[in-house]
Structure 1
Amino acid sequence: MALAVVSAVGLVGFCWPFFVAPGSALDSSHSGDAPFLFVAILPLLAAIVLSELTSGGMDAKAVAMLGMLSAVGGALRALGPGTAGLEPSFAVIILGGRVFGRGFGFVLGATTLFTGSLITGGVGPWLPFQMMAAGWVGFFAGCLPRAEGRTEVGLLAGYGFVSGLVFGMVMNIWFWPFASYGPEVSYVAGDPLAANLQRYGVFYLTTSLLWDLGRATMSLLVLALAGSALLRALRRAARRAAFDVPVVFQR
């Protein structure tokens, strides 16, 4: 329920410009609603953690692991800005979601982008949208089918590549409806969906694809080369922390 609510809030934040009549008071930019979206996301992330705690999906040790991985991912994100989109932090988000589950992955994605933005000074109206999109990356990493050995590493590496591209596609939507780059690549309110999708496709191929390929390729390489070792390390940490072992008090 908590994951559904926060995802619905994120979808509304991304998509409302496509349902507003041209020339209305809301038809300006996300600079006005982004702070409200950010304020809405934070308590919902806390609600996800609380629901995981009460349902047994996480415990205090898992929350500590969440904080540690968020800090590591945020520090790695400092390597990305201005470096052809190379962002190794996405590998951390994917591995966290894979090992610790969907709720953990969603919160890890959001907090990693938040931490990285504080470290790099990249705080702006785009931040809540980045948090939501990265949260979905971690969530769907936790939804991947069961696999073992090289098959699992290959699955994660492929997912890392695809999610790196999809993250960029989704993130463009936070500003594309308001941008004006020319009639061939800009959103036209009231036009058929197919026409606007074609314009967005041209916009993505000409402006964003190369940057997103850097993110996708970096995620693929990190997961393909170090994914097996990192999975073992995280799972070993989970076993030693005994996340799933119930506490039994003895006299």
Structure 2
Amino acid sequence: MAKLRFPLLIALGLFIGALALSSALKDRHYLLLSLVLLCAALLPLFLRLERRKLEPRELVLLAVLAALAAVSRIPFAALPSVKPVSAIVILSAYVFGAEAGFLIGAVAALVSNLYFGQGPWTPWQMFAWGMVGLTAGWLRNTRWMRTRPGLLVFGFIWGFLFGWIMNIWHLIGLPDAFSWGLVAVVYGQSFYFDLAHALSNVVFLSILAGGWIKVLERFRKKYGLLR
């Protein structure tokens, strides 16, 4: 994974650059932008493919995990900010690394919005969930993340960070002139939604962590997936 750190940083830079450009130009072609960002998320995967032959079962595994994360939003559609997507992305990255986590998070956002509706928020959700997986993969071997309380705290923190990233998109879209008072209002209004996301991450991680980690690690070790 160390060899893929630079490609991941490049992909992250492309994400940020595309988001900034889109916001500056007020571009409404957000579906096209989402596809461009998806290509950026695939960059580390393409480089892995160049380095060694990527087995079809590895691609299938990534697709299945991204699909599970995407579909998991649907049963909780009536509960704002309560969704197991972040937990699934975190656990996938915990086992398979930052590369897989980044890709699964970005793809899950794009695919799930085929049901919930595409919009200018889609690229930002792709970025936010991609970052959830990226950071979980980078920190997975730390003593903090190797403990159950540390994993839960990580999920709790990202419940707020996810909302704060999405607030940036909301602020950019407001017609009012920028002010720190407006920032305070937007972030204050999102607090309870962010708290719901944070608490739901803790709940879903508590429920899924043990079983999911064992199953995914068994697949990784037995079949040598995403080494």
TM score, norm. by length of structure 2: 0.85
> Where do residues 26-175 of structure 1 align in structure 2 (5 Å cutoff)?
26=25, 29-32=26-29, 34-55=30-51, 59-118=55-114, 120-146=115-141, 151-175=146-170
Bigger helix share: 2
Matched, 1:203 2:186: yes
Unaligned runs of 5+ in 1: 21-25, 189-195, 246-251
Gaps of 5+ in 2: 1-5
Residue 171 of structure 2 is aligned to residue 176 of structure 1: yes
1:85–1:214 CA contact under 8 A, matched in 2:
yes
The code of the aligned residue for 1:161 comes to F
Shift of 1:96: 0.7
Q: Distance in 2 between matches of 1:52 and 1:152?
A: 30
Counterpart amino acid of residue 124 in structure 2: F
Q: Give the whole-Å Cα distance in 2 for the aligned partners of 1:58 and 1:102.
A: 17
Q: How many Å separate the matches in 2 of 1:121 and 1:199?
A: 28
Amino acid corresponding to residue 171 of structure 2 in structure 1: W
Larger Rg: 1
Deviation at 1:112, TM superposition (A): 1.0
TM-score, scaled relative to structure 1: 0.77
Partner residue in 2 for 1:248: none
State whether structure 2 residue 15 is matched by structure 1 residue 10. yes
Cα gap change, 1:160 to 1:58, in 2 (>3 Å): farther
Q: Is the 8 A contact 1:160 1:220 kept in 2?
A: yes
Q: Which amino acid letter does the alignment assign opposite residue 11 of structure 1?
A: I
User: 2:131, 2:145 → 1: CA distance?
Assistant: 24
